[in-house]
Chain A
Amino acid sequence: MSFLQTEVICHSRKVCSLYKRALRNLESWYDRRPMYRYRAVLLRARFDENKDVKDLRVAQQLLDDGEKELFSLIQYQPKKFPLSPGGVAYEREVRAPDWVLDYWHPWEKAFYPDYFAKREQRKKEYVEWWEKTYGKPAEQGH
């Protein structure tokens, strides 16, 4: 598990997660839509077969077997959306937000004195313009 689990995850959620991952895996293997739909229906039938199992020990075993089966058939190149994490175009262009410059160390800022002097001046002018246009913000009580 690549994240810190901070809550108890119930059995049904685990089953739903397995089902979704299995569907995504099928989608990666069967790349034509009709073929994928056919397999998805068969997969749904397999899950539905055991939906009324009341004995949690049996249900847990089924879940473990399902996870193992999925792991043994996982696609070596799963489909990814280009702009999502893991996708080919994910975070291609990183634009640092403007406020990052305010967190520069004074020594770093000293390399570009003119730029930062102008920047401080502009910030001051912007605050003045804001207060002139929208008024001063109300005093915050502690």
Chain B
Amino acid sequence: MVSMYLSSMLFLLSGSLSCLVLSLLCLKSGQAWFIEWELLSLNSSSIVMTLILDWMSFMFLGFVMFISSMVLYYSGEYMHGDSNMNRFMYLVLAFVMSMGFLIISPNLISILLGWDGLGLVSYALVIYYQNEKSANAGMLTALSNRVGDVAILLAISLFFSCGGWNFLFYVENMPIIGSGGLLCGLVVLAAMTKSAQIPFSAWLPAAMAAPTPVSALVHSSTLVTAGVYLLIRFSPALEGRLSQTVLLLLSSLTMFMAGLGANFEYDLKKIIALSTLSQLGVMMSILSLGYADLAFFHLLAHALFKALLFMCAGAVIHSVKDYQDIRMMGGLVYHMPLTGMCMNLANLALCGTPFLAGFYSKDMILEVAFMSPINLVSFLLYALATGLTVCYTMRLVYYSLSGDFNLGNLYSISDEGKIMTNPMMGLSVGAVFGGATLAWLIFPCPYMICMSPVFKMLALIVSVIGGVLGYLLNLNAVNYNLNSLKYYNSVVFSGSMWFMPFLSTYGASKNFLGSGETYQSVGDMGWSEYYGGQGIYSFIMSSSKILQVFQDNSMKIYMLSFLLWVIVLVFVVV
């Protein structure tokens, strides 16, 4: 019998190849298919099921399917022996289906199905392991994404005034729509939750509680890019809006915060998650400068090498028996040369090393951003974040690959079997050639870059400084005094993502839970109970008792009422 991981891989790989070929055809001919079924027409607003099949959706779909196929094949060994392996496979396939649905939907209602499907399946994948940590992470993930779902729902209700939900028809004319500003704000909010921008960043590193193949697919290259993809489709509507300016500031801050946090993080997967967050910030910021094509280019190139990086991290974690702490690793390049090579490749691509996948997109983004009229804060954040990316990458290389062997126990560490290394090799090809190929395909005419030599060299200079610092800061003498202890507060602040996980959980729920408790003690169990349930009960009881006395046919009552009537009549007569 063919294993499920193998059949899924073949199915997705064939789908991926078909999509990529169709994408090339669309690119070449400039065609796009728009398929529409009208389901219901209500008050001149038609509810239609719409699919858009253009080069962009085909290409993104092809990449998603390619990465999913590699990840599913990889899972065949990574998840081997797991008691719920089939459930895992079905969940990943459901995730790919939701993602596909989102990619080919140009309609806000049908996009919600894919969007919500992603939220639901990602929750199920984060809580795949049954421990408390996963439950907490899953809840944080689901609730953070729920904010975005609500924003989409509100946007749907606002779109009603346009007479349809096919946003592709309206994005060009958004300025003349009355509630256009609010609508753009809501879509940007939704995208920010899915792409984990500040202040919704806490869920992405927390979601690393999921199995590593899930992180490779969901939390690096597909789910988190859904927000970027939505904004790419919406980008014409955002031009000149307040939401665009806010997005630029928040995405630049996210980029910087994640880069800084990764330099103080010790969990291997969380370092990579923070690096994803940083790259998402890059995509969002260039998008908010109005270059949607560059954001899409970086989205695809980043997906290739980030999935590879996660796969290598998974191989390392598998090998060192579930340790994820980089302090417990080191010298792995001698024991796992193939994984080390792939990991270095992905790391170098991430840093934007010339001619690897990240170089083409990242370098172009930086140069275009430096040419744009951005403010000084955003410019500084861009430059610092670029340096920090190389810094944490070199730190990671030192700790896990080239530094001293630091593992507590000497397990038999070696490169895993072929089922794990083959997909890594497949993605390595993508990490090397993906950027150049995409650049040739997406940009037939090169971007005109015109800037002073200082600006031209800036990206290179900050990268070199970052890399040297990242490596040298970790080469310490035996009697070295840790500077981290001298600047303890700053280190804890940076290493805890500016306390965002704390603020997103305790900070967000404290006041509501507190007011709920007050309401319960004062209202439900206080005044409302005293005058409501108990008060009405005692009033009816005492009234019934009085009525009972009247109904007992007592002689005294007759005499009393006779007397009362006599008094009344006497007063009336007199």
Contact = CB atoms under 8 A, between A and B. Distances in A.
Given A32-B404, A38-B479, A90-B131, A72 B265 contact: no
A106 B267 CA distance: 46
Contact of A30 (B134, B321, B482): B482
Interface stretch (A2-10, A80-88, A129-137): A80-88
B323 interface: yes
Nearest to B268: A88
Given A73-B488, A92-B129, A92-B130, A80 B325 contact: yes
Interface in B92-108: none
B133 A90 contact: yes
A62 to B, nearest CB: 21
Interface string A97-140: 00000000000000000000000000000000000000000000
A60 B492 CA distance: 29
Interface string B300-322: 00000000000000000000011
A35 B321 CA distance: 25
Contacts of A95: 83
Nearest to B399: A31
B324 A82 contact: yes
Given A76-B492, A79-B327, A88-B133, A32 B406 contact: yes
A93 B325 CA distance: 21
B470 to A, nearest CB: 15
B563 to A, nearest CB: 64
Contacts of B129: 89, 92-93
B473 to A, nearest CB: 13
A40 B156 CA distance: 62
Among A35, A72, A92, which residue has the most Cβ atoms of chain B within 10 A? Answer: A92
B328 interface: yes
Contacts of A92: 129-131, 134
Interface residues of B, number: 34
Contacts of B480: 35
Interface in B387-429: 399, 404, 406
Contacts of A80: 325
Contacts of A90: 131, 133
A77 B265 contact: yes
B236 interface: no
Interface string A58-84: 000000000000001100110110110
A29 B321 contact: no
A45 B266 CA distance: 29
Contact of A82 (B265, B321, B484, B485): B321
Given A79-B327, A80-B325, A82-B321, A94 B476 contact: no
B549 interface: no
B136 interface: no
A80 B132 CA distance: 16
B478 interface: yes
B484 A29 contact: yes
A94 B130 contact: yes
B383 to A, nearest CB: 27
B18 interface: no
B488 A79 contact: no
A91 B129 CA distance: 8
The residue in A32, A76, A88, A91 that gathers the most chain B C-beta atoms within 10 A of its C-beta is A88
Nearest to B492: A76
A49 to B, nearest CB: 19
Contact of B327 (A31, A34, A72, A73): A31
A104 B422 CA distance: 47
The 3 closest A-B pairs by CB, nearest first: A31-B327, A82-B322, A92-B129
17 contacts: A29-B482, A30-B482, A31-B399, A72-B488, A73-B488, A76-B492, A76-B495, A76-B496, A77-B266, A77-B267, A82-B321, A82-B322, A82-B323, A91-B130, A93-B83, A93-B129, A94-B130
Interface of B: 82-83, 129-134, 209, 265-267, 321-325, 327-328, 399, 404, 406, 476, 478-480, 482, 484-485, 488, 491-492, 495-496
Given A35-B479, A38-B479, A88-B324, 19 more contacts: A29-B485, A31-B406, A32-B404, A35-B476, A72-B488, A73-B485, A77-B265, A82-B322, A82-B323, A82-B324, A87-B322, A90-B131, A90-B133, A91-B130, A92-B130, A93-B82, A93-B83, A93-B129, A94-B130
